[in-house]
C-alpha cells in the first residue's frame, strides 16, 4: 500500500446527466437561490425592525432563517459553478470544506428546531413562568449551544474523514457527502462506517427526542385544556411542526440515498431526494412562518401595501 497514489480531486458524475439542460437548470436554481435569500432576509428584517417581535419564539425563527441561508449558500453557488464546468471536478480541500459546512448546517437545523420545540413546551405547559425560564440570557445560551454543538460535535467526527487517503475519484452525487467520500478511501473503512452510524445517533437523536418530549407534554396539557386553549396551542405549534416534519423528510431522503444503492431509481427522483433537505426547508420555512404566524403576516402585509 505504500505505492498508492493519493487522489487530490474528485469528479461529481451526477452533473453529466444534466449536460443537455444545464442552462435551464442554471436559471431555475439561480432563481431559487434568489428567492430563498429574499424570503429569509424579509423574515429576518421584519423580526429585527418590529420591536413587538423581539420575543424568544421569533428570535429562534430568525436563527432558523439564518441557518437556511447558510445551507443554501453552501450548495447553490457551487452547484451553479459545476453546471457550467466541463470537468465537474472538485478539489479535495473544497470537497472536505463542503462536507463540513453541509453537515454542520444539517445538525444546526435539527438543533434549532429542537430548541424551538422546547420553547413551545414552556410557553404552553408553563405559561406563567415563560418569561422567567426563557430569559434573554437563556435564549442567547440556547442559540449559541445550537451552533456550537453542530460545529464541535461534527468536527470531532470529521477529523477521521480528513485524515483518510483516497484512491478513487468518482462521487455519484452533485455535492460531496461524508459517507460517499469515506467509501473512496484506499483502506478498509468499516470502522468509519460504524462510527458514522453512531455519530448520526448522537448528532440527531437527542434533538429528535427533545421535540418528541415537548409535544408529548403539549398534547397532555391540551387534552386537559378548554377548546379555545387547544385551538390556540395548535395555531402556535403548527408552523414549527410543519418545519420539523419537512426537514425530517429531507434528512430521511439523504440518509437513505447515502447508505443504499439508488442507481435503479430514475435520475430526477435521485436529484429530488439529494437536494430536498438543502432546498425545501430554506424555501418553505420563511413561507410557513410568514403565512401561519399572524404577528409576522400582518407586518409583512403592511410592508407590501406600504410599497404600493
Q: Determine the average pLDDT of the residues in 299-308.
A: 69
Which range, of 39-43, 230-234, 256-260, averages the lowest pLDDT? 256-260
**What is the pLDDT at residue 306?**
62
The predicted model scores a pTM of 0.90
**What is the pLDDT at residue 2?**
42
The C-alpha atoms of residue 104 and residue 84 are separated, in whole angstroms, by 27
Q: Which residue has the higher pLDDT, 260 or 205?
A: 205
Query: Which residues make Cβ contacts (< 8 Å) with residue 30, sequence separation at least 6?
Result: 76, 80
Burial class (CB in 10 A: 0-12, 13-18, 19+), 256: exposed
**What is the pLDDT at residue 135?**
92
The C-alpha atoms of residue 63 and residue 43 are separated, in whole angstroms, by 11
Of the candidates 74, 67, 119, the one whose C-alpha atom is nearest the C-alpha of residue 100 is 74
Q: Determine the average pLDDT of the residues in 173-184.
A: 89
In the structure, what pLDDT confidence band is assigned to residue 230 with cuts at 50, 70 and 90?
Answer: confident
Highest mean pLDDT among 223-227, 241-245, 261-265: 241-245
**What is the pLDDT at residue 307?**
53
pLDDT at 1 over 50: no
Burial class (CB in 10 A: 0-12, 13-18, 19+), 257: buried
Q: With contact defined as beta carbons under 8 Å apart, do 43 and 286 qualify?
A: yes
The residues with which 145 forms a beta bridge, in sequence order, are none
pLDDT at 271 over 80: yes
**What is the pLDDT at residue 7?**
82
Residue 165 gets which letter from DSSP?
A: -
Question: How many CA atoms lie within 13 Å of 200's alpha carbon, on the beta-carbon side?
Answer: 14
> Which runs of consecutive H residues, i.e. helices, occur in the chain?
22-49, 56-84, 92-125, 130-133, 136-162, 178-182, 190-224, 227-259, 267-292, 294-307
Residue 19 gets which letter from DSSP?
A: G
The C-alpha atoms of residue 114 and residue 119 are separated, in whole angstroms, by 9
pLDDT in tens, 61-104: 999 999 999 999 999 999 999 999 888 999 999 999 999 999 99
pLDDT over 90, % of the chain = 47
Q: Which residue has the higher pLDDT, 19 or 6?
A: 19
**What is the pLDDT at residue 222?**
86
pLDDT in tens, 101-160: 999 999 999 999 999 999 999 999 988 899 999 999 999 999 999 999 999 989 888 998
Of the candidates 146, 92, 137, the one whose C-alpha atom is nearest the C-alpha of residue 118 is 146
Tell which phi-psi region holds residue 171, choosing left (phi > 0), alpha (psi between -120 and 50) or beta: beta
Amino acid at each position: 500500500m505504500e505505492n498508492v497514489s493519493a487522489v487530490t480531486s474528485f469528479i461529481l458524475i451526477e452533473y453529466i446527466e444534466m449536460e443537455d439542460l444545464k442552462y435551464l437548470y442554471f436559471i431555475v436554481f439561480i432563481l431559487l437561490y434568489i428567492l430563498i435569500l429574499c424570503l429569509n432576509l424579509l423574515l429576518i428584517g421584519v423580526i429585527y425592525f418590529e420591536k413587538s417581535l423581539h420575543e424568544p419564539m421569533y428570535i429562534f425563527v430568525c436563527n432558523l432563517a439564518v441557518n437556511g441561508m447558510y445551507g443554501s449558500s453552501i450548495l447553490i453557488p457551487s452547484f451553479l459553478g459545476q453546471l457550467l464546468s466541463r470537468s465537474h471536478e472538485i478539489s479535495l480541500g473544497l470537497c472536505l470544506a463542503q462536507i463540513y459546512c453541509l453537515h454542520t448546517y444539517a445538525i444546526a437545523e435539527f438543533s434549532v428546531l429542537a430548541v424551538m420545540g422546547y420553547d413551545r413546551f414552556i410557553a404552553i405547559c408553563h405559561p406563567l413562568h415563560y418569561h422567567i425560564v426563557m430569559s434573554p440570557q437563556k435564549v442567547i445560551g440556547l442559540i449559541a449551544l445550537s451552533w456550537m454543538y453542530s460545529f464541535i460535535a461534527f468536527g470531532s467526527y470529521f477529523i477521521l474523514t480528513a485524515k483518510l487517503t483516497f484512491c478513487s475519484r468518482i462521487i455519484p452525487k452533485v455535492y460531496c457527502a461524508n459517507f460517499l467520500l469515506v467509501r473512496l478511501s484506499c483502506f478498509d473503512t468499516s470502522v468509519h462506517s460504524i462510527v458514522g452510524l453512531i455519530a448520526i445517533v448522537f448528532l440527531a437523536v437527542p434533538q429528535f427526542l427533545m421535540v418528541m418530549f415537548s409535544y408529548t407534554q403539549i398534547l397532555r396539557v391540551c387534552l386537559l385544556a378548554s377548546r379555545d386553549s387547544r385551538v390556540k396551542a395548535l395555531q402556535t405549534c403548527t408552523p414549527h411542526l410543519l418545519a420539523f416534519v419537512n426537514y425530517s423528510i429531507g434528512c430521511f431522503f439523504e440518509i437513505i440515498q447515502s447508505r443504499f444503492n439508488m442507481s435503479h431509481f430514475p435520475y430526477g427522483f435521485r436529484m429530488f431526494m439529494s437536494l430536498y433537505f438543502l432546498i425545501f426547508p430554506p424555501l418553505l420555512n420563511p413561507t410557513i412562518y410568514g403565512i401561519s404566524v399572524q404577528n409576522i403576516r400582518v407586518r409583512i402585509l403592511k410592508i407590501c401595501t406600504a410599497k404600493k
